[in-house]
Amino acid sequence: MEAERRGLLIILSSPSGAGKSTLARALMEWDNSLRFSISATTRAPRPGEVDGVDYHFVDEATFKDMVNDGEMLEHAHVFGNFYGSPSAPVRAAIETGRDVLFDVDWQGAQQIANSVLRDHVLSIFVLPPSIRELRRRLETRGQDSDEVIAKRMEKSWDEISHWDGYDYVLVNDDLTTTFERLKTIITAERLRRAQQPGLMNFVRHLQSEFQEVEG
Amino acid sequence: MEAERRGLLIILSSPSGAGKSTLARALMEWDNSLRFSISATTRAPRPGEVDGVDYHFVDEATFKDMVNDGEMLEHAHVFGNFYGSPSAPVRAAIETGRDVLFDVDWQGAQQIANSVLRDHVLSIFVLPPSIRELRRRLETRGQDSDEVIAKRMEKSWDEISHWDGYDYVLVNDDLTTTFERLKTIITAERLRRAQQPGLMNFVRHLQSEFQEVEG
């Protein structure tokens, strides 16, 4: 039995400090049917991390098999460890009408947007209102050294420079406004024809009715 | 000077009786920056019709020149008369950030969706809740003969059978809900990257700021 609605793969990208985590949390509270995509990784669990909650912890052979079998929507190699988004849980979720939220960088976003599930991808990029504001948020966030912050800013610029690969771009001037826009975009995209497999049955039903009534 | 926002070509199609005219009117009241696309036609003006308001009345040679010069987004030949949507006023509107609303059938919609302005097209199809309800609305509407209504119903089915060529499909069970959904879709689509040429300048500005702050 097919669900009325097909879920979306919602990609939310931004440089760190532009509000992405806050927005993602607010979205999960707004709609608790949303699922967060849990990454698979070859790195060792840190104290407190739970397998299947924080990450799917797998060994390198398993990870590589998954990539070779096309079971990763995107993957990357970072500081000697592999990270990726397994496709099976995403497929299961969208087939039952649940959206899946991805927190990935522009490279991950690009891979997902070109994956087999590309027709159901909604990608949104969040821009900071200014570079100074971005730096301020990184500075007030923790006790990072100037050097670490400078590196983060470089990484942020790399991320910002790929803003034009996304379906929607929001400037996060004001968190409330940005969150309203995000909800509007998701609410609208759920109404796309491609997201509503149930429509096909509805039109078939109209057709039988037409034949019955109009002969 | 480029506008911050680029307008959309909003195509609203439905079989007659599904609520399209009511929805179009409600949209124009909701946002008075919306423009309605005025068709050009070779048919003679009827009493009370004003050139440039109801239609652009043109002769056949002028019409054919416009088609040959690529100045029509779509056109059709109906009962010996030509009808079409001139592109110049649409371009002028969308370049200044105004959306243009089109009341066209599936053939017109398809032509516009394949026109040079295709990147800015938003197409929405409105389905009736049932065939019986569609017939009821046609019957209560006026003093049409059974024969005329039967013909309208045939035309309606032809229209419905092309529902799958649209970006969005709404089942008009309840006018208030459908109108809310329509507004949500338009509000969201205005936020698409492709509709916001002003973003390019904003990112350029961020880049200068980055170079200034981060060296």
Chain B residue numbers with beta carbons less than 8 Å from the beta carbon of A169 are 191, 193, 196, 199
A203 contacts B127? CB cut-off 8 A = yes
Chain B residue numbers with beta carbons less than 8 Å from the beta carbon of A157 are 207, 210, 214
ipTM over 0.90: yes
- pLDDT by residue, tens only, chain A of 215 residues: 456 899 999 999 999 888 899 999 999 999 999 999 999 999 999 999 999 999 999 999 999 999 999 999 999 999 899 999 999 999 999 999 999 999 899 999 999 999 999 999 999 999 999 999 999 988 887 778 889 999 999 999 999 999 999 999 999 999 999 999 999 999 999 999 999 999 999 999 999 999 999 88
A36 touches chain B (CB under 8 A): no
Delimit the domains of chain B by residue range. 9-214
Nearest C-alpha neighbor of B195 from the set A169, A179, A126? A169
CATH number for the domain formed by residue range(s) A9-214 = 3.40.50.300
Output the pLDDT for position A128.
96
Q: Is A19 annotated as a binding residue?
A: yes
